[in-house]
Amino acid sequence: MTAGERREPGRRVAVVTGAARGIGLAIGTRLASDGFAVALWDRDAGALEDAAQALRASGATVLAVPVDITDRAGVNQALAQATQALGAPAALVNNAAILGRSGPTIDASVDEWKRVFDVNVFGALHCAQAVVPAMVRQGYGRVVNVASIAGKEGNPFAGAYAASKAALISMTKSLGKEMAETGVLVNCITPSAADTDIFGVHDESQRAQLQARLLERVPMKRFVRVEEVAEMVAWLCSARCSFSTGAAFDISGGRAMY
Ligand SMILES: NC(=O)c1ccc[n+]([C@@H]2O[C@H](COP(=O)([O-])OP(=O)(O)OC[C@H]3O[C@@H](n4cnc5c(N)ncnc54)[C@H](O)[C@@H]3O)[C@@H](O)[C@H]2O)c1
């Protein structure tokens, strides 16, 4: 049996970051229904606890861990808490991210780019660096980074976000190759727009304009549903995914050109 084909360890534990709402919550919900014990990580403690309670009510084994992934020591503590309560993670979904301010790249401040990179790139790196060593020791693991079509195409007026997602795609490729013989597979997904809170609060006409602009570039002319994203992530988090690593999986309604 080759490294990628190894079976999962006894209890399946998953860590999902940015899991209080949106795509992260859909992923946590899906992994729980697939039988994972799920540690939900988010910096929004209130929304996180509400999400965890709703999932527990449906019979899932869920631990809510409030953590800001930009804080490396906090990430280590969150992992210790999750491992003690549930066991060592077999899956890590790096989903937490921010969009940052929208505007012309030429006028953007370096501090704003750093703020976006702190969450979207260094936060994901903190989580991978904390979680992956134990996966290597157990000879099995699945890491899924939630990137974006923006990381391939460079969305206008979202320079920091697009560049951060390009960095995450590249980090996936480097780590995937480094881990290839360990039993730990590392992949990313590149969704097009989903109708979530990431776009912030807009009045109805602003929201309609923004949504129309986003959907113009999607041949299937609709938002991806968060459950559709979770479906792809569920496969990437499972032992059924055995010969893909360092790869970017498209889920963009036909938008991606490569
Ligand atoms: N919504 C889209 O159109 C879209 C498209 C492509 C990719 N994505 C990606 O999907 C992922 C989820 O996006 P979403 O739309 O569900 O966003 P969202 O804003 O609805 O949820 C993101 C969650 O991450 C949490 N978070 C943010 N910074 C954090 C930090 N420093 N530490 C811990 N938690 C933090 C937030 O509190 C929030 O609960 C992101 O990586 C995003 O870039 C989204």
Whether 161 is catalytic is yes
How far apart (Å, rounded) are the C-alpha atoms in residues 222 and 26? 18
How far apart (Å, rounded) are the C-alpha atoms in residues 66 and 105? 32
Helix (H) or strand (E) holding 61: none
Expressed in angstroms and rounded, the spacing between residue 133 Cα and the centre of ligand 1 is 25
Q: Order of strands across the sheet with 13-17?
A: 62-66, 37-42, 13-17, 91-94, 141-146, 184-191, 247-251
| Nearest atom of ligand 1 to the alpha carbon of 70 | 31
Ligand 1 pocket, mutate which of 15, 17, 21, 23 (most atoms under 8 A from CB): 23
Tens of pLDDT along the chain (258 residues) come to: 787 777 776 679 999 999 999 999 999 999 999 999 999 999 999 999 999 999 999 999 999 999 999 999 999 999 999 999 999 999 999 999 999 999 999 999 999 999 999 999 999 999 999 999 999 999 999 999 999 999 999 999 999 999 999 999 999 999 999 999 999 999 999 999 999 999 886 677 877 787 788 899 999 999 999 999 999 999 999 999 999 999 999 999 999 988
Q: Measuring from each residue's beta carbon to the nearest atom of ligand 1, which residues come in under 6 Å?
A: 17-18, 20-24, 42-44, 68-70, 95-98, 119, 123, 146, 148, 191, 193-194, 196-198
Quick one: pLDDT at residue 210? 77
Quick one: pLDDT at residue 138? 96
| Nearest atom of ligand 1 to the alpha carbon of 226 | 16
In CATH, the architecture of 3-250 is 3-Layer(aba) Sandwich (3.40)
Expressed in angstroms and rounded, the spacing between residue 17 Cα and the centre of ligand 1 is 9
Q: pTM for this one?
A: 0.97
- What tokens appear for 228 in the block? 């559709």
How far apart (Å, rounded) are the C-alpha atoms in residues 143 and 92? 5
Q: Which of 41, 140, 161, 223 is catalytic?
A: 161
Residue nearest to atom 13 of ligand 1 (CA): 23
In the chain, domain spans:
3-250
- What tokens appear for 81 in the block? 């808490």
Ligand 1 pocket, mutate which of 198, 202, 226 (most atoms under 8 A from CB): 198
Quick one: pLDDT at residue 9? 67
Quick one: pLDDT at residue 5? 78
